[in-house]
């Protein structure tokens, strides 16, 4: 838990340290010179040593309990098995709500700058998925993510939001009502420590968790360089299925799905095609 609050030792650096020391506790207690011997930058080691000196585990656990936030590390049996399988799983995950059974889960992602066409496609595909007993996973961002979560809830389904902030931070703020509905229906989850606001790179990294929790990911709309294509790339690296919704050829938001389809993603027009493809 302490490493996620420190924030400067991510999965790659932690693996390096774990391979060297053999356990998280040994890393946490390691002398400064031993940490430097692993190849970590001197300034980083200085910051880490200063941080751990003042970090109070008991105080943080009390605060998490007060906020009804659960946390699991990679070694805990409650940590989702499907997430352990990805190349760079989060060291710790924080959860508000209940993840439930992830055996039938699909990520629905797309641009923040969705068109009317994209909104309707996201709404209909999500409806089909939840009516077919699938949990919908997205990122609670503006645009397609928000539509996907709302459609899942409106159709009586379960949905999980993977956040780029702490799970106690509502972002974007206009999704406050949606945030609480998601917790009541499913869960919000993040590897970012509670209390932390938007940080550089956090939203890019959270995309690997969206795909990691899912059996497949469908991209509804997005430009060729959009974040939804980053999620699709993570999905491919993790061995997940990638689906893409075709769009109008004169729309820039169709470029991303068109590119994915040209690279071998499965073209889909409704949620049942995704369910059938995944043999749900």
Strands (E), 6-133: 70-73, 92-97, 105-109
pLDDT in tens, 184-211: 999 999 999 999 886 666 678 899 999 9
Tell me, yes or no, whether 213 lies in a domain: yes
Token couple for 60: 């943080």
Does 165 reside within a domain?
yes
Q: How is residue 197 annotated by DSSP?
A: -
pLDDT at 202: 67
DSSP characters for 70-95?
EEEETTSTTS-HHHHTSSS--SEEEE
Q: Are 45 and 13 in contact (CB under 8 A)?
A: no
Structure tokens at 107: 């990520």
Q: Is 76 part of a structural domain of the chain? A: no
Q: Tell me the HSE value of 76 on the side-chain side, using a 13 A CA sphere.
A: 13
Show the tokens assigned to 169.
């931070």
Closest C-alpha among 56, 59, 61, 63 to residue 73: 61
Kindly state the greatest CA–CA separation across the chain.
60
Q: Which of 157, 156, 145 is nearest to 218 (CA)?
A: 145
The 10s digit of each residue's pLDDT in 53-97 is 888 888 888 999 999 999 998 888 999 999 999 998 998 999 999
Judgement on whether residues 51 and 167 belong to the same structural domain of the protein: no
The verdict on residue 92 lying in a domain is: no
In a domain, 95, yes or no: no
* Structural domain total, the chain: 2
Pairing of strands 92-97, 187-190: antiparallel
Domain region containing 24: 1-55
Q: Given this model, what pLDDT does residue 266 score?
A: 97
Q: Rounded to whole angstroms, how far apart are CA atoms 155 and 239?
A: 29
In a domain, 94, yes or no: no
Residues 14 and 116 in one domain: no
Residue 232, judged by CB atoms within 10 A of its CB (0-12, 13-18, 19+), counts as buried
Give phi and psi for 13, each to the nearest 5: -65, -35
Preceding omega of 222 cis (within 30 degrees of 0): no
Which DSSP helix (H) or strand (E) runs through 179? helix 176-185
Q: Which residues of the chain have pLDDT under 70?
A: 198-202, 280
The answer to whether the CB of 38 falls within 8 A of the CB of 32 is no
Q: Provide the token pair at 122.
A: 């996201």
- Tell me the C-alpha distance between 187 and 180, whole Å: 9
User: Among 34, 55, 76, which residue terminates a domain?
Assistant: 55
Q: Chain-wide mean pLDDT for the chain?
A: 93
In a domain, 254, yes or no: yes
- Residue 79: predicted pLDDT: 95
Residue 84 lies in a domain: no
Q: Tell me: do 44 and 127 sit in the same domain.
A: no
What's the pLDDT score for residue 10? 78
User: Residue 1 and residue 200: Cα distance in Å, rounded?
Assistant: 20
To the nearest whole percent, how much of the chain has pLDDT over 70?
98
Residue in this structure with the two tokens 């493809």, named with its chain if needed: 277
Q: For residue 272, what is the domain's CATH number?
A: 3.40.50.450
Same domain, 116 and 237: yes
């Amino acid at each position: 838990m302490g490493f996620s609050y420190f924030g400067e030792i991510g999965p790659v650096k932690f693996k390096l340290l774990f391979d060297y020391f053999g356990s998280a506790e040994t890393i946490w207690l390691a002398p400064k010179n031993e940490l430097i011997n692993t190849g970590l930058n001197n300034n980083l080691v200085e910051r880490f040593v200063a941080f751990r000196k003042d970090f109070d585990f008991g105080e943080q656990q009390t605060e998490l309990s007060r906020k009804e936030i659960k946390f699991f590390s990679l070694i805990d049996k409650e940590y989702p098995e499907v997430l352990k399988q990805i190349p760079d799983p989060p060291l710790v995950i924080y959860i508000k709500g209940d993840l439930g059974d992830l055996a039938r889960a699909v990520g629905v992602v797309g641009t923040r700058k969705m068109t009317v066409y994209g909104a309707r496609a996201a709404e209909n595909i999500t409806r089909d998925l939840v009516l077919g007993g699938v949990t919908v996973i997205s990122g609670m961002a503006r645009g397609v993510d928000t539509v996907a979560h709302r459609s899942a809830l409106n159709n009586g389904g379960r949905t999980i939001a993977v956040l780029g902030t702490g799970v106690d931070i509502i972002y974007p703020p206009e999704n406050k009502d949606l945030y609480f509905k998601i917790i009541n229906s499913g869960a919000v989850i993040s590897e970012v420590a509670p209390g932390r606001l938007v940080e550089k790179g956090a939203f890019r990294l959270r995309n690997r968790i969206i795909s990691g929790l899912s059996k497949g990911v469908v991209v509804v709309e997005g430009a060729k360089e959009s974040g939804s294509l980053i999620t699709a790339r993570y999905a491919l690296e993790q061995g997940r299925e990638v689906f893409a919704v075709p769009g109008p050829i004169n729309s820039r938001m169709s470029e991303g799905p068109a590119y994915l389809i040209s690279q071998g993603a499965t073209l889909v027009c409704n949620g049942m095609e995704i369910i059938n493809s995944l043999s749900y």
